[in-house]
Amino acid sequence: MAGGAVSNSTYTSTPGKGAKAGNYLLPFILVTSLFFLWGLAYGLLDVLNKHFQEVLNITPKRSTLLQGAYFGAYFIMALPAGMFMNKFGYKKGIIMGLLLYAAGAFLFYPAARALNFDFFLLALFILACGLACLETAANPYVTVLGEKETSEQRLNLSQCFNGLGSFLGPVIGGALFFGSGKDDLTTVQLTYIVIGVIVLLIAAFFYRTPLPEIKEAEAEGEAVMQDQRPLFAHKHFVWGVVAQFFYVAAQVGVGALFINYATEYWKGTSNEKGAYLLSAGMVLFLAGRFVGTALMRKIAPNKLLAIYALINVVLCAFVMTGNGAPAVYALILVFFFMSIMFPTIFALGVKDLGKHTKKGASFIVMSIVGGASVPYLMGIVTEWKSTAMAYGIPLLCFMVVFYYGWKGYRRS
């Protein structure tokens, strides 16, 4: 799920033992690895959705509860994670997130043995609580690991690795879950055990590596006066929370029923091929990050956000026609134009929040709960009308994102 303008607050750093002040390369690399980890978890989610429908014999509407558990955890955990990091720092917050991530991954093993969908929801909820900690820490942390003039590029670069993880997720899931020839959850068990072990190793590496602790410091003059205002007096932040809610709702909705859509409207498409088509969308999502970074040197981030959102409104309208392969290609193309939305909204939303930056970041991460509700609504529309008509819901969400890029981003 990132890049655009960033906060103009000033910062001070307290280097950890053995770290040189101002030398942020190693911390940047370590934190960027976290973007890959939560991208991988998200990339696997949509493949699990379809796999559970078949192995556990559940409906598409019920399977979207996976997204409900995953993104509901963000809503519940983001603010406590922000409070924890305010007290104990970014490093401890990251380690806590990694430990929760690993615990949730390991719980997939007994859940698969029990063939219990509710158990899977619990495991995924715990895993996503860890991801909420990681996102609450990593997004603002990357923006301040260096000069603020280049923070836009740093966030986009880190988010490129998030896109890489999101691309590899469907590829791994398609090959292991659908390509194994086994109609059971053995490969799901193995996949998440391996992920859990890797995450624990990374947590150990973070524990042993000194990281600079970044603290917001109040700026001089006018900025100080602005910082005295309550957080929710910043209208651009409030609209940022709203826009992020609807953007994540759209992103998750687009992916949640993607394989269902491809197999239903493109004749002859198997589940495995549908997973690979989804990974093609993730490739475009990744490519869009690089293209967006380049375009933002010429086009203001808010304008590019508005343009991309409007294009996705048109694409979703065509997807609603269910016009065979062309409509599937249009759905794949939606991923390209979603690529810059999360980071651009995030960066515009926390801009000039000063001492409120960490708390503001927590609220914007909480707004990811939009991804918990909309897929379920799409499942209802799918059962009531059709999968194609369900994509009218992301269309409406992209209209809200368009408004934020057009007017809502403006700071009072």
Task: Give the residue from 141, 175, 208 where a domain finishes.
Answer: 208
Contact yes or no for 160/289 (Cβ under 8 A): yes
Alpha helices in 257-300 (DSSP H): 258-265, 271-295
Which pair of tokens denotes residue 2? 């990132």
Alpha helices in 209-270 (DSSP H): 222-227, 235-256, 258-265
Contact yes or no for 159/35 (Cβ under 8 A): yes
Residue 158 lies in a domain: yes
Print the domain residue range for 247.
231-407
Contact yes or no for 252/66 (Cβ under 8 A): no
Which pair of tokens denotes residue 245? 């809610």
**Which CATH number belongs to the domain containing residue 94 in this structure?**
1.20.1250.20
Residue 150 lies in a domain: yes
Instruction: Say yes or no: 314 and 202 in one domain.
Output: no
Residue 250 lies in a domain: yes
Q: What is the pTM of this model?
A: 0.75
Instruction: Say yes or no: 128 and 73 in one domain.
Output: yes
Instruction: Say yes or no: 159 and 238 in one domain.
Output: no
Residue 8 lies in a domain: no
Instruction: Say yes or no: 272 and 158 in one domain.
Output: no
CA distance 90 to 100: 16
Contact yes or no for 145/154 (Cβ under 8 A): yes
Residue 72 lies in a domain: yes
- Which of 249, 247, 229, 253 shows the shortest CA–CA distance to 346? 247
Instruction: Say yes or no: 257 and 398 in one domain.
Output: yes
Instruction: Say yes or no: 141 and 260 in one domain.
Output: no
Instruction: Say yes or no: 63 and 192 in one domain.
Output: yes
pLDDT at residue 12 in the model = 43
Provide the residue type at 190 as one letter. Answer: L
| Per-position pLDDT tens, the chain of length 412 | 433 333 333 344 444 443 444 577 888 888 888 889 888 988 888 788 888 888 888 888 888 888 889 888 988 888 888 888 878 888 899 999 999 999 999 999 999 999 999 999 999 999 999 998 988 888 778 877 777 666 666 777 787 788 788 788 888 888 888 766 566 788 899 999 999 999 999 999 889 888 776 665 443 344 444 457 777 777 888 899 999 999 999 998 998 889 999 999 998 888 888 888 988 998 898 899 889 878 888 888 899 999 999 999 999 999 999 999 999 999 999 999 998 898 889 888 877 777 777 778 778 888 888 888 788 889 899 989 999 999 999 999 999 999 999 988 787 6
Instruction: Say yes or no: 156 and 235 in one domain.
Output: no
Contact yes or no for 93/140 (Cβ under 8 A): no
CA dihedral (406, 234, 83, 363) positive or negative: negative
Residue 31 lies in a domain: yes
Residue 296 lies in a domain: yes
Instruction: Say yes or no: 250 and 306 in one domain.
Output: yes
Instruction: Say yes or no: 167 and 39 in one domain.
Output: yes
Count of domains forming the chain? 2
Instruction: Say yes or no: 262 and 366 in one domain.
Output: yes
Instruction: Say yes or no: 196 and 236 in one domain.
Output: no
